[in-house]
Structure 1
């Protein structure tokens, strides 16, 4: 009699255990992604080890939708390097080439001027009001590699936010409803 009661109890608790297990699995996936991202930040020395090219300003070198891999070292920034930089008051980083560097020997700092390869003029019009040069604090990282077109997923989800929510919902539902 005890055996039958235990079997009925285990059958009743199985869906709850399965659901809890699936939520734990989803949590582990999200946690793993965050840990990998933080590890990449430490290894590359940049707050954003990966960025997506959002405009055509760097064509033909980089196309809209290319993913760039960034690294930041203590080496001086040189003319010709492709850098990703942030401007005060702007949320989205910019990917452009360094066209001029003026090093100040007394302080060791440098004034940096950038330009998109596909643009006619330098980036002074993009900088914050009254800013004519970038400093090292504005540079997020240097491009060290790229993956063509993979970033289109990010662009599409940014331009059509409903797709982002559908995709996240579908992935969450897939993890929760999977049997094993």
Structure 2
């Protein structure tokens, strides 16, 4: 691989670097475009646990949307992010509480495969989550596609192995 790079002149190396930058920029633009279209900060998420089985299994890729002024209903499967927690949670809404005085919607959630509701996951003494915590509602899914993400997170060395294989593939098949 390095021998191939040495044979390239500065112009060819710059062209390869620009190609990589274009690919990364295109991916970011697609992500941001999907975020705007679906009205959610994260249009896709990966299921990381078995808490939603049999509806979703670990590694399923979920497609999210959150239309403006769309209320959450009982039995909607939502992805929500709690304050102070980095990883979003995918669970089903089992109860709603609408506060007429503040026009706020409050939710109680539960994983389909869990025996109890999610109050143990919420902040201490918190009985409901706010509608603002909801990142999006699940609109569709692709089974097992997210396993690639899980493997990359569980085994960080796999990222470098995959990048090395891709770089070799590009260099070998470039001609």
**TM-score (norm: length of structure 2):** 0.89
SS in 2 for 1:19: helix
SS in 2 for 1:130: coil
The Cα shift of 1:173 comes to 5.4
Query: 1:140 maps to which residue?
Result: 135
Contact (CA 8 Å) 1:101, 1:110: kept in 2 or not?
yes
Query: How far, CA to CA, are the matches of 1:23 and 1:88 in structure 2?
Result: 39
Query: 2:15 maps to which residue?
Result: 21
Query: How far, CA to CA, are the matches of 2:166 and 2:27 in structure 1?
Result: 14
The Cα shift of 1:105 comes to 1.7
Query: How far, CA to CA, are the matches of 2:21 and 2:170 in structure 1?
Result: 10
**TM-score (norm: length of structure 1):** 0.87
5+ residue gaps, structure 1: 1-12
Runs of 4+, deviation exceeding 6 Å: none
Query: How far, CA to CA, are the matches of 2:81 and 2:110 in structure 1?
Result: 14
1:124 to 119, 124, 127: 119
Query: How far, CA to CA, are the matches of 1:145 and 1:173 in structure 2?
Result: 35
The Cα shift of 1:106 comes to 2.1
Contact (CA 8 Å) 1:22, 1:176: kept in 2 or not?
no
RMSD over aligned Cα atoms: 1.8
1:52 to 34, 41, 46: 46
- What is the number of equivalent residue pairs in this alignment? 168
5+ residue gaps, structure 2: 1-6
The Cα shift of 1:177 comes to 6.7
Contact (CA 8 Å) 1:84, 1:139: kept in 2 or not?
yes
Which structure would you say has the larger Rg? Answer: 1
Query: How far, CA to CA, are the matches of 2:100 and 2:123 in structure 1?
Result: 25
